[in-house]
């Protein structure tokens, strides 16, 4: 997690660094810091516990002039959040200054070796160890800064995105990456370095996505790119195609709210260029090469974490219904550590908004090592998972900045629906008629979401009634069980109310004991084949005096009579209703969290992209 930013050019670095840190703050927000090289080639480092605004206050009377610098916003892994553990870190003799996103796994060994050579550490971080390792090699080996960095990195096990400066070679920044994201933006005699495109997009659209174990040595007028083993490379310059609006709130109070309201258009972006103009065909270009394998495979394994895992569960229902291929959905973290059985003809689908989640990335590597074909469903273009997978599809939902995932979920489910329909059609499991009907239903989803969003004030009123509850239960069956899990996760993470998602029929096997007159129970109870059963589940809750908030199909009269509140959503094909039912749950959580005074876009203890295992 952690966000990193660097600048070298002819402008003042400080405003660029601070603005960049604010845009990257969603990645970590327990402390931050900047290092700036001034005109006299002296590096000033300022660090502060808390949010970037604290750093701004702290630096308000400091000298922050200089045209080369780096900044970091932290999500603590090694050592508590405080000024000392905040980045940038400097080596003991002050030769090297660096910022780091990732984890040095063999830090303890490296630390012991350095301690034996009389190095003393001020912080509890793995980063300070790396700074000193580079310095040790630099002094002992009498090598250049670049070479010291390269040699040090060959001794490091773990993940890193680094920006490094050396006091003896002040007019350059050295950047390197392994398993943590890093982008270099190219301007006019200036370069921007960042964890993602959000701080770069306002300056340039030309970027280089660094590959693992690559290093770039950047001067204002010179750029060299190589592997850490010193093989010279020519960098691939790519276009971002991202407007500044995509990374701003555009009048919304929070990014999360903006992203919830963006869903009609983000789903259209997910469709773009992938559905024939006459709605007769779905075309996911990223799957074409692997389609023969997809048709033949006997098993699909979906790996993901958090909200993406919930999308994966919806994917299981979709793929099994439309393709009749057995699907298993695994938490990437569990999959990775339990020596899973993986066959060479298995297809593994990794789902990730950020494309950087460490658990998912490691699970992909394991599946590839065992010979499976791995496909990715990622939102962030050029991300590590997108690069690591054999093939895949981007969700194209646009940058998701609110820590709680919303539009990424609906985009992932959209892709999984398209994928299922495409494979099902190729395998002749679904008829031409059913295929076309599904496409028509799918393209009507954005307008149906717009209708639900018009009910925002009503969701707000219900939120006001239950904002002080201590617990919530979310129930759903079939396609709506993952939606219940997602509703509960959204509430937990942003409002800090304990919530559980459960398959509705399982309630009577335990959770029913929790129900009393204080327990709000959100039930997804739209009309489908288990409607009668879910009505019985609602009766069971009411019989125990629980409060029922039911998500129902427009015009439903039966549930209106029993539930305390009904929230109507438009009628849709059962397999697609999860795309609609999740919207009221997102808004309910959002309003409850706002009313409880929580930090919506940066909930406590969380970070947007979880790059540690």
- Whether the CB-CB separation of 198 and 249 falls below 8 Å is answered with no
Rule CB under 6 A: is residue 306 a binding residue for ligand F6R?
A: yes
Residue in 135, 493, 528, 556 binding ligand F6R, rule: CB under 6 A: 493
Contacts of 476 (CB under 8 A, 6+ apart): 482, 483, 484, 501, 503, 504, 523, 524, 534, 581
Q: How many CB atoms lie within 10 A of CB 111?
A: 18
Residue with tokens 């489910």: 413
- Binding part of the chain for ligand F6R, among 98-106, 123-131, 351-359, 469-477 by CB under 6 A, reads 351-359
Active site residue 608: yes
Nearer of residues 85 and 353 to ligand F6R, judged by Cβ: 353
Candidate residues 161, 366, 375, 404; the one interacting with ligand F6R per rule CB under 6 A: 404
Count of beta carbons in the 10 Å neighbourhood of residue 516: 11
What's the CA gap between 543 and 126, in Å, rounded?
A: 56
Q: What is the CA radius of gyration of the chain?
A: 25
Q: Count residues contacting ligand F6R (CB under 6 A)? A: 15
> Is 354 among the residues that bind ligand F6R (CB under 6 A)?
yes
Residue 609 is a binding residue for ligand F6R (CB under 6 A): yes
CA distance between the termini of the chain = 11
- Reduced to 3 states, what is the DSSP secondary structure of residue 14? helix
Q: 350: closest CA among 399, 319, 307, 305?
A: 305
Stretch that binds ligand F6R, among 162-170, 299-307, 387-395, 581-589 (CB under 6 A): 299-307
Distance in Å, CB of 308 to ligand F6R, minimum: 4
Instruction: Give the contact letters, 556-575, x = binds to ligand F6R (CB under 6 A), - = no.
Output: --------------------
Cβ–Cβ < 8 Å for 251, 408 = no
Distance between CA 581 and CA 553 in Å, rounded?
9
Q: Report DSSP state, residue 442.
A: H
373 part of the interface to ligand F6R, by CB under 6 A: no
| Closer CB to ligand F6R, 297 or 353, in the complex | 353
The yes or no reply on residue 357 touching ligand F6R (CB under 6 A) is yes
Give the interface segment with ligand F6R, choosing from 41-49, 96-104, 275-283, 348-356 (CB under 6 A).
348-356
C-beta of 49 vs 492, nearer to ligand F6R: 492
Rule CB under 6 A: is residue 360 a binding residue for ligand F6R? Answer: yes
Cα angle 264, 270, 271 (rounded to 5 degrees) comes to 90
Q: How far is the CB of 317 from ligand F6R (least distance, A)?
A: 19
- Ramachandran angles phi, psi of 518, nearest 5°: -95, -5
Of 393, 405, 424, the closest CA to residue 318 belongs to 424
Chain centroid offset of residue 445 CA: 24
Annotated catalytic residue, options 2, 166, 305, 378: 2
Rule CB under 6 A: say whether 180 interacts with ligand F6R: no
In the window 538-557, what residues touch ligand F6R (CB under 6 A)?
none
405 counts as binding ligand F6R under rule CB under 6 A: yes
Nearer of residues 282 and 358 to ligand F6R, judged by Cβ: 358
**Phi, psi dihedral angles at 96 (to 5 degrees):** -120, 140
What is the number of the residue whose Cβ is closest to ligand F6R?
306
* Residue 155 bears catalytic tag: no
Nearer to ligand F6R by Cβ, of 488 and 538: the residue is 488
Question: What is the Cα–Cα distance from 538 to 209, expressed in whole angstroms?
Answer: 51
CA atoms within 13 A on the CB side of 265: 8
**Per CB under 6 A, 611 contacts ligand F6R:** no
DSSP strand pairing (471-476 vs 520-524) = parallel
CB 74 within 8 A of CB 26: no
Q: Shortest gap between Cβ of 274 and ligand F6R (angstroms)?
A: 21
Closest approach, Cβ 93 to ligand F6R, in A, equals: 39
Residue 305 in the binding site for ligand F6R (CB under 6 A): yes
Residue among 177, 407, 448, 608 flagged as catalytic: 608
Please tell me whether residue 353 binds ligand F6R under the rule CB under 6 A: yes
> In the complex, which residues of this chain contact ligand F6R (CB under 6 A)?
305-308, 352-354, 357, 360, 404-405, 489, 493, 609-610
Catalytic residues: 2, 608
């Amino acid at each position: 997690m952690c966000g990193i930013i660097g600048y070298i050019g002819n402008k003042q670095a400080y405003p660029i660094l601070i603005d960049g840190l604010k845009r990257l703050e969603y990645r970590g927000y327990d402390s931050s810091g900047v290092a700036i090289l001034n005109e006299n080639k002296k590096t000033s480092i300022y660090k502060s516990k808390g949010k970037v605004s604290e750093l701004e206050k702290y630096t308000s009377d400091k000298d922050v002039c200089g045209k080369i610098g780096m900044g970091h916003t932290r999500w603590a892994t090694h050592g508590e959040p405080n000024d000392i553990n905040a980045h940038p870190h400097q080596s003991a003799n002050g030769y090297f200054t660096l910022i780091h996103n990732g984890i040095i796994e063999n830090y303890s060994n490296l630390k012991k070796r350095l301690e034996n050579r009389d190095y003393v550490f001020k912080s509890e971080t793995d980063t300070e160890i790396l700074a000193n390792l580079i310095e040790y090699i630099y002094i002992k080996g009498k090598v250049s800064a670049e070479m010291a960095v390269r040699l040090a990195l060959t001794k490091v096990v773990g993940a890193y995105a680094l920006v490094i400066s050396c006091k003896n070679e002040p007019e350059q920044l050295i950047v390197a990456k392994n398993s943590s994201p890093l982008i270099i933006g190219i301007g006019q005699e200036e370069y921007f370095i960042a964890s993602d495109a959000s701080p770069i997009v306002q300056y340039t659209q030309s970027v280089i996505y660094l590959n693992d174990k690559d290093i770039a040595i950047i001067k204002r007028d010179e750029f060299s790119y190589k592997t850490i083993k010193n093989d010279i490379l020519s960098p691939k310059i790519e276009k971002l195609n991202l407007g500044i609006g995509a990374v701003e709130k555009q009048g919304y109070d929070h990014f999360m709210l903006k992203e919830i309201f963006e869903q009609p258009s983000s789903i259209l972006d997910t469709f773009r260029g992938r559905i024939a103009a006459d709605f007769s065909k779905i075309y996911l270009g990223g799957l074409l090469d692997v389609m023969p394998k997809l048709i033949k495979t006997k098993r699909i394994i979906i790996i993901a974490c958090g909200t993406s895992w919930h999308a994966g569960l919806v994917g299981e229902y979709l793929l099994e219904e439309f393709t009749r291929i057995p699907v298993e959905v695994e938490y990437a973290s569990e999959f990775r550590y339990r020596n899973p059985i993986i066959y060479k003809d298995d297809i593994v689908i990794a789902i990730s908004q950020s494309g950087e989640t460490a658990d998912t990335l490691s699970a992909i590597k394991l599946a590839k090592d065992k010979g499976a074909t791995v496909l990715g469903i990622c939102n962030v273009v050029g991300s590590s998972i997108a690069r690591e997978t054999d093939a895949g599809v981007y969700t194209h939902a646009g940058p998701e900045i609110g820590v709680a995932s919303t539009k990424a979920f609906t985009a992932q489910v959209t892709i999984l629906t398209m994928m299922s329909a495409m494979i099902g059609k190729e395998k002749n499991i679904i008829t031409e008629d059913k295929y076309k009907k599904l496409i028509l239903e799918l393209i009507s989803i954005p307008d149906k979401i717009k209708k639900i969003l018009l009910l925002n004030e009503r969701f707000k009123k219900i939120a006001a009634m239950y904002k002080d509850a201590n617990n919530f239960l979310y129930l759903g069956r079939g396609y709506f069980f993952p939606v219940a899990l997602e509703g509960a996760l959204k509430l937990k993470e942003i409002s800090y109310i304990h919530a559980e998602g459960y398959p509705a029929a399982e309630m009577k096997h335990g959770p029913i004991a929790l129900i009393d007159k204080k327990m709000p129970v959100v039930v997804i109870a739209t009309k489908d084949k288990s409607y009668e059963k879910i009505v019985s589940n609602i009766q069971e809750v009411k019989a125990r005096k629980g409060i029922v908030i039911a998500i129902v199909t427009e015009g439903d009269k039966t549930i209106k009579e029993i539930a305390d509140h009904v929230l109507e959503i438009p009628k849709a094909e059962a397999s697609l209703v999860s795309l609609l039912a999740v919207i009221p749950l997102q808004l309910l959580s959002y309003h409850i969290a706002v009313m409880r005074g929580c930090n919506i876009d940066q909930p406590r203890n969380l970070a947007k992209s979880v790059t540690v295992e």
